[in-house]
Structure 1
Amino acid sequence: MFNKSKSPAKPSSVPSIPPLPDMPQAPQSTQSAQPRPAAPAPQAQPARNLSTLSADLKFDGNVSGSGDLQVDGQIKGDVKVGRLIVGETGAIEGSVSADYVEVRGRIVGAVSGKQVKLISTAYVDGDITAEQLSIDIGAYFQGRCIQGTRNPAPSAQSAAPRPSAQPAVAPQAPQPVPQADAPQRIDMSSN
Protein backbone atom coordinates (compact mmCIF):
# COMPACT_ATOMS: atom_id res chain seq x y z
CA MET A 1 0.00 0.00 0.00
CA PHE A 2 2.77 2.44 0.95
CA ASN A 3 6.18 2.31 -0.61
CA LYS A 4 9.25 3.84 0.97
CA SER A 5 11.43 5.54 -1.59
CA LYS A 6 15.10 4.69 -1.52
CA SER A 7 17.63 7.44 -1.04
CA PRO A 8 19.90 8.04 -4.01
CA ALA A 9 23.27 6.29 -3.80
CA LYS A 10 26.39 8.41 -3.39
CA PRO A 11 28.42 8.76 -6.55
CA SER A 12 31.70 6.85 -6.33
CA SER A 13 33.69 9.89 -7.50
CA VAL A 14 33.30 11.62 -4.10
CA PRO A 15 36.57 11.23 -2.17
CA SER A 16 36.29 9.88 1.36
CA ILE A 17 37.20 12.22 4.20
CA PRO A 18 39.98 10.88 6.39
CA PRO A 19 39.21 10.73 10.14
CA LEU A 20 40.81 13.11 12.60
CA PRO A 21 44.14 11.89 14.01
CA ASP A 22 42.85 11.59 17.60
CA MET A 23 39.69 9.70 16.63
CA PRO A 24 39.64 5.91 16.25
CA GLN A 25 39.64 4.94 12.62
CA ALA A 26 36.56 3.26 11.19
CA PRO A 27 37.00 0.58 8.55
CA GLN A 28 36.93 2.13 5.11
CA SER A 29 35.19 0.52 2.18
CA THR A 30 37.58 1.99 -0.36
CA GLN A 31 41.31 1.93 0.20
CA SER A 32 43.33 4.96 -0.84
CA ALA A 33 46.38 4.55 -3.05
CA GLN A 34 48.78 5.92 -0.41
CA PRO A 35 49.47 3.97 2.77
CA ARG A 36 48.69 5.93 5.94
CA PRO A 37 51.31 6.27 8.63
CA ALA A 38 50.28 4.64 11.88
CA ALA A 39 49.00 7.17 14.41
CA PRO A 40 50.62 7.00 17.82
CA ALA A 41 48.50 5.22 20.42
CA PRO A 42 46.79 7.65 22.81
CA GLN A 43 48.27 7.79 26.27
CA ALA A 44 46.16 5.80 28.69
CA GLN A 45 44.96 8.07 31.45
CA PRO A 46 43.91 6.58 34.75
CA ALA A 47 40.15 6.41 34.98
CA ARG A 48 38.80 8.90 37.49
CA ASN A 49 36.00 7.51 39.55
CA LEU A 50 32.98 9.66 40.18
CA SER A 51 31.80 9.75 43.79
CA THR A 52 28.05 10.19 44.12
CA LEU A 53 25.89 11.52 46.92
CA SER A 54 22.58 9.89 46.07
CA ALA A 55 19.19 11.61 46.13
CA ASP A 56 18.07 10.11 49.46
CA LEU A 57 21.13 11.37 51.41
CA LYS A 58 21.64 14.60 53.34
CA PHE A 59 25.13 15.72 54.38
CA ASP A 60 25.91 18.43 56.92
CA GLY A 61 29.51 19.64 56.80
CA ASN A 62 32.25 20.61 54.37
CA VAL A 63 33.37 18.35 51.52
CA SER A 64 36.88 18.64 50.07
CA GLY A 65 39.14 16.59 47.83
CA SER A 66 40.68 16.50 44.39
CA GLY A 67 38.34 13.92 42.87
CA ASP A 68 35.04 14.13 41.01
CA LEU A 69 31.73 14.46 42.85
CA GLN A 70 28.13 14.19 41.69
CA VAL A 71 25.55 15.52 44.13
CA ASP A 72 22.01 14.22 43.76
CA GLY A 73 21.24 14.66 47.48
CA GLN A 74 21.63 17.66 49.76
CA ILE A 75 24.77 19.23 51.24
CA LYS A 76 24.80 21.98 53.86
CA GLY A 77 28.38 23.19 53.84
CA ASP A 78 31.21 24.24 51.55
CA VAL A 79 32.30 21.98 48.69
CA LYS A 80 35.82 22.06 47.21
CA VAL A 81 36.59 19.28 44.70
CA GLY A 82 38.23 18.77 41.30
CA ARG A 83 35.02 18.38 39.26
CA LEU A 84 31.48 18.88 40.52
CA ILE A 85 28.17 17.91 38.96
CA VAL A 86 25.00 18.94 40.80
CA GLY A 87 22.19 16.72 39.52
CA GLU A 88 18.59 17.83 39.05
CA THR A 89 17.66 16.60 42.53
CA GLY A 90 20.90 17.92 44.08
CA ALA A 91 21.10 20.93 46.37
CA ILE A 92 24.09 22.65 47.97
CA GLU A 93 23.80 25.36 50.59
CA GLY A 94 27.32 26.81 50.87
CA SER A 95 30.19 27.95 48.71
CA VAL A 96 31.39 25.77 45.83
CA SER A 97 34.89 25.64 44.38
CA ALA A 98 35.97 23.27 41.59
CA ASP A 99 37.85 23.34 38.29
CA TYR A 100 34.67 22.26 36.46
CA VAL A 101 31.17 22.91 37.82
CA GLU A 102 28.01 21.71 36.08
CA VAL A 103 24.76 22.71 37.77
CA ARG A 104 21.47 21.01 36.97
CA GLY A 105 20.05 21.40 40.48
CA ARG A 106 20.24 24.08 43.17
CA ILE A 107 23.13 26.02 44.72
CA VAL A 108 22.67 28.78 47.30
CA GLY A 109 26.12 30.30 47.79
CA ALA A 110 29.16 31.47 45.88
CA VAL A 111 30.40 29.39 42.94
CA SER A 112 34.03 29.50 41.84
CA GLY A 113 35.61 27.52 39.01
CA LYS A 114 37.58 27.57 35.79
CA GLN A 115 34.56 26.38 33.80
CA VAL A 116 31.00 26.78 35.10
CA LYS A 117 27.92 25.51 33.25
CA LEU A 118 24.34 26.24 34.28
CA ILE A 119 22.01 23.81 32.54
CA SER A 120 18.38 24.83 31.90
CA THR A 121 17.15 23.26 35.17
CA ALA A 122 19.77 25.07 37.31
CA TYR A 123 18.99 27.42 40.21
CA VAL A 124 21.95 29.46 41.50
CA ASP A 125 21.60 32.18 44.11
CA GLY A 126 25.07 33.59 44.68
CA ASP A 127 28.06 35.13 42.95
CA ILE A 128 29.86 33.19 40.21
CA THR A 129 33.59 33.62 39.59
CA ALA A 130 34.67 31.76 36.46
CA GLU A 131 37.07 31.91 33.53
CA GLN A 132 34.36 30.39 31.30
CA LEU A 133 30.64 30.62 32.06
CA SER A 134 27.78 29.02 30.16
CA ILE A 135 24.12 29.65 31.07
CA ASP A 136 21.40 27.75 29.22
CA ILE A 137 17.99 29.26 28.52
CA GLY A 138 15.70 28.55 31.46
CA ALA A 139 18.41 28.51 34.12
CA TYR A 140 17.90 30.80 37.13
CA PHE A 141 20.86 32.89 38.29
CA GLN A 142 20.73 35.62 40.92
CA GLY A 143 24.01 37.27 41.84
CA ARG A 144 27.13 38.80 40.37
CA CYS A 145 29.23 37.27 37.63
CA ILE A 146 32.97 37.87 37.84
CA GLN A 147 35.10 36.73 34.92
CA GLY A 148 38.67 35.85 35.72
CA THR A 149 40.74 33.48 37.74
CA ARG A 150 39.08 32.03 40.76
CA ASN A 151 40.18 32.58 44.33
CA PRO A 152 42.15 29.65 45.77
CA ALA A 153 39.60 29.13 48.53
CA PRO A 154 36.59 31.18 49.54
CA SER A 155 37.11 32.03 53.18
CA ALA A 156 35.67 34.03 56.03
CA GLN A 157 38.36 36.68 55.46
CA SER A 158 36.41 38.21 52.58
CA ALA A 159 33.42 38.76 54.87
CA ALA A 160 35.52 40.16 57.75
CA PRO A 161 36.33 43.89 57.76
CA ARG A 162 39.81 44.68 56.50
CA PRO A 163 42.20 46.34 58.92
CA SER A 164 43.03 49.92 58.11
CA ALA A 165 46.51 50.49 56.70
CA GLN A 166 46.53 54.20 57.66
CA PRO A 167 48.34 55.40 60.78
CA ALA A 168 46.42 56.72 63.80
CA VAL A 169 47.56 60.31 63.06
CA ALA A 170 46.70 61.27 59.50
CA PRO A 171 49.38 63.23 57.61
CA GLN A 172 48.51 66.44 55.74
CA ALA A 173 49.05 64.99 52.24
CA PRO A 174 46.47 62.46 50.98
CA GLN A 175 47.73 58.88 51.05
CA PRO A 176 46.98 56.32 48.32
CA VAL A 177 44.38 53.75 49.28
CA PRO A 178 46.02 50.29 49.50
CA GLN A 179 42.88 48.36 48.59
CA ALA A 180 42.37 47.76 44.87
CA ASP A 181 38.59 47.77 45.08
CA ALA A 182 38.31 51.04 47.07
CA PRO A 183 37.23 54.22 45.24
CA GLN A 184 40.00 56.56 44.19
CA ARG A 185 40.13 60.01 45.78
CA ILE A 186 41.54 63.04 43.97
CA ASP A 187 42.11 66.33 45.78
CA MET A 188 41.56 69.24 43.39
CA SER A 189 41.96 72.04 45.95
CA SER A 190 44.85 74.48 45.58
CA ASN A 191 46.86 74.70 48.80
Structure 2
Amino acid sequence: MSKNSTFSMIGADVVITGDISASADLHIDGRVRGDINCLALVQGAASEMIGTITAQSAHMAGMVRGSIIVDSLVVQRSAHIVGEVHYETLTIEQGARVEGTFAKGGAEVPATAIPVEPVEPAAYDSTPLLLEGE
Protein backbone atom coordinates (compact mmCIF):
# COMPACT_ATOMS: atom_id res chain seq x y z
CA MET A 1 0.00 0.00 0.00
CA SER A 2 1.17 3.53 -0.63
CA LYS A 3 1.34 6.20 2.07
CA ASN A 4 -1.92 7.74 0.82
CA SER A 5 -3.92 4.51 0.54
CA THR A 6 -6.64 3.66 3.01
CA PHE A 7 -7.69 0.39 4.56
CA SER A 8 -11.13 -0.58 5.82
CA MET A 9 -12.12 -3.57 7.92
CA ILE A 10 -15.46 -5.27 8.34
CA GLY A 11 -15.44 -7.26 11.58
CA ALA A 12 -16.59 -10.81 12.17
CA ASP A 13 -19.74 -9.61 13.96
CA VAL A 14 -20.93 -7.56 10.95
CA VAL A 15 -23.52 -8.78 8.41
CA ILE A 16 -24.04 -6.58 5.34
CA THR A 17 -26.89 -6.99 2.87
CA GLY A 18 -26.11 -4.73 -0.07
CA ASP A 19 -23.30 -3.75 -2.37
CA ILE A 20 -19.94 -2.43 -1.17
CA SER A 21 -17.87 -0.04 -3.30
CA ALA A 22 -14.58 1.29 -1.96
CA SER A 23 -11.57 3.07 -3.36
CA ALA A 24 -9.66 1.47 -0.50
CA ASP A 25 -8.28 -1.92 0.39
CA LEU A 26 -10.79 -4.04 2.34
CA HIS A 27 -10.37 -6.75 4.95
CA ILE A 28 -13.62 -8.61 5.53
CA ASP A 29 -14.13 -11.02 8.41
CA GLY A 30 -17.93 -10.67 8.44
CA ARG A 31 -20.67 -11.76 6.08
CA VAL A 32 -21.65 -9.90 2.91
CA ARG A 33 -24.60 -10.61 0.65
CA GLY A 34 -24.07 -8.26 -2.29
CA ASP A 35 -21.43 -7.23 -4.80
CA ILE A 36 -18.01 -6.02 -3.63
CA ASN A 37 -15.89 -3.63 -5.69
CA CYS A 38 -12.56 -2.50 -4.22
CA LEU A 39 -8.87 -2.09 -4.91
CA ALA A 40 -7.60 -5.08 -2.89
CA LEU A 41 -9.58 -7.57 -0.83
CA VAL A 42 -8.51 -9.83 2.02
CA GLN A 43 -11.14 -12.29 3.22
CA GLY A 44 -10.91 -13.89 6.66
CA ALA A 45 -11.33 -17.65 7.05
CA ALA A 46 -14.67 -17.37 8.90
CA SER A 47 -16.10 -14.88 6.38
CA GLU A 48 -18.87 -15.61 3.88
CA MET A 49 -19.56 -13.61 0.72
CA ILE A 50 -22.42 -14.04 -1.75
CA GLY A 51 -22.22 -11.92 -4.91
CA THR A 52 -19.70 -10.66 -7.44
CA ILE A 53 -16.26 -9.62 -6.25
CA THR A 54 -14.29 -7.20 -8.44
CA ALA A 55 -10.80 -6.09 -7.39
CA GLN A 56 -7.23 -5.76 -8.59
CA SER A 57 -6.09 -8.36 -6.06
CA ALA A 58 -7.81 -10.73 -3.66
CA HIS A 59 -6.73 -13.17 -0.97
CA MET A 60 -9.67 -15.45 -0.30
CA ALA A 61 -9.78 -17.62 2.84
CA GLY A 62 -13.50 -18.12 3.55
CA MET A 63 -16.69 -19.04 1.69
CA VAL A 64 -17.55 -17.33 -1.61
CA ARG A 65 -20.66 -17.98 -3.68
CA GLY A 66 -20.62 -15.96 -6.89
CA SER A 67 -18.19 -14.52 -9.40
CA ILE A 68 -14.67 -13.30 -8.75
CA ILE A 69 -13.05 -10.90 -11.25
CA VAL A 70 -9.47 -9.98 -10.33
CA ASP A 71 -6.00 -9.45 -11.73
CA SER A 72 -4.26 -11.42 -8.98
CA LEU A 73 -5.99 -14.10 -6.89
CA VAL A 74 -4.72 -16.17 -3.98
CA VAL A 75 -7.04 -18.93 -2.78
CA GLN A 76 -5.95 -20.04 0.67
CA ARG A 77 -6.36 -23.60 1.96
CA SER A 78 -9.33 -22.64 4.15
CA ALA A 79 -11.26 -21.16 1.19
CA HIS A 80 -14.36 -22.64 -0.43
CA ILE A 81 -15.35 -20.95 -3.69
CA VAL A 82 -18.48 -21.80 -5.67
CA GLY A 83 -18.81 -19.89 -8.96
CA GLU A 84 -16.94 -18.32 -11.85
CA VAL A 85 -13.40 -17.03 -11.41
CA HIS A 86 -11.73 -14.65 -13.89
CA TYR A 87 -8.06 -13.88 -13.19
CA GLU A 88 -4.71 -12.92 -14.68
CA THR A 89 -2.51 -14.60 -12.05
CA LEU A 90 -3.70 -17.38 -9.76
CA THR A 91 -2.37 -19.23 -6.72
CA ILE A 92 -4.36 -22.02 -5.08
CA GLU A 93 -3.08 -23.53 -1.85
CA GLN A 94 -3.39 -27.27 -1.38
CA GLY A 95 -6.63 -28.07 0.45
CA ALA A 96 -8.69 -25.18 -0.97
CA ARG A 97 -12.11 -26.18 -2.31
CA VAL A 98 -13.22 -24.70 -5.61
CA GLU A 99 -16.41 -25.64 -7.46
CA GLY A 100 -16.97 -23.77 -10.70
CA THR A 101 -15.07 -22.46 -13.66
CA PHE A 102 -11.76 -20.66 -14.06
CA ALA A 103 -10.92 -18.38 -16.98
CA LYS A 104 -7.64 -16.56 -17.47
CA GLY A 105 -8.60 -13.03 -18.46
CA GLY A 106 -11.93 -12.83 -20.21
CA ALA A 107 -13.38 -10.19 -17.90
CA GLU A 108 -12.39 -6.56 -17.56
CA VAL A 109 -10.69 -5.82 -14.27
CA PRO A 110 -10.75 -2.14 -13.25
CA ALA A 111 -7.48 -0.28 -12.61
CA THR A 112 -9.10 1.15 -9.48
CA ALA A 113 -12.39 0.64 -7.75
CA ILE A 114 -15.36 1.88 -9.73
CA PRO A 115 -17.89 3.89 -7.73
CA VAL A 116 -21.32 2.31 -7.80
CA GLU A 117 -24.31 4.59 -8.27
CA PRO A 118 -26.94 4.15 -5.53
CA VAL A 119 -29.85 1.98 -6.59
CA GLU A 120 -32.90 0.59 -4.90
CA PRO A 121 -31.92 -2.37 -2.67
CA ALA A 122 -32.46 -5.74 -4.26
CA ALA A 123 -34.89 -8.15 -2.66
CA TYR A 124 -32.43 -10.41 -0.86
CA ASP A 125 -33.38 -13.48 1.07
CA SER A 126 -33.17 -12.50 4.74
CA THR A 127 -32.24 -16.01 5.88
CA PRO A 128 -29.10 -15.83 8.04
CA LEU A 129 -25.89 -16.85 6.29
CA LEU A 130 -24.39 -20.03 7.70
CA LEU A 131 -20.90 -21.37 7.28
CA GLU A 132 -20.20 -25.08 7.20
CA GLY A 133 -20.12 -26.52 10.69
CA GLU A 134 -22.48 -23.92 12.21
Q: Same fold (TM over 0.5)?
A: yes
Cα distance in 2 for residues equivalent to 1:85 and 1:96: 11
Cα distance in 1 for residues equivalent to 2:90 and 2:22: 23
Q: Which runs of 4+ in 1 moved over 6 A?
A: none
Secondary structure (helix, strand or coil) at the match of 1:120 reads: coil
More contact order relative to length (CA 8 Å, sep ≥ 6): 2
The correspondence for 1:125, drawn from 75, 79, 82, is 82
The correspondence for 2:38, drawn from 63, 81, 89, is 81
Q: For structure 2, which runs of at least 5 residues remain unmatched after alignment? A: 111-134
The offset of 1:89, in angstroms, is 1.3
> Please, what TM-score do these two structures have when normalized by structure 1?
0.55
CA-atom RMSD, angstroms? 1.4
Contact 1:131 1:147 in 2 (8 A): yes
Residue 116 in structure 1 maps to residue 62 in structure 2: no
Match for residue 57 of structure 2? 100
> Please, what TM-score do these two structures have when normalized by structure 2?
0.77
Match for residue 104 of structure 2? 147
Cα distance in 1 for residues equivalent to 2:76 and 2:100: 16
CA deviation map 1:77-102 (0-9, x unaligned) = 00010000110111110010000010
Secondary structure (helix, strand or coil) at the match of 1:89 reads: coil
Identity %: 25
Q: In terms of Rg, which structure is larger?
A: 1
The structure in which a higher percent of residues are strand is: 2
Residue 49 in structure 1 maps to residue 11 in structure 2: no
The offset of 1:149, in angstroms, is 5.2
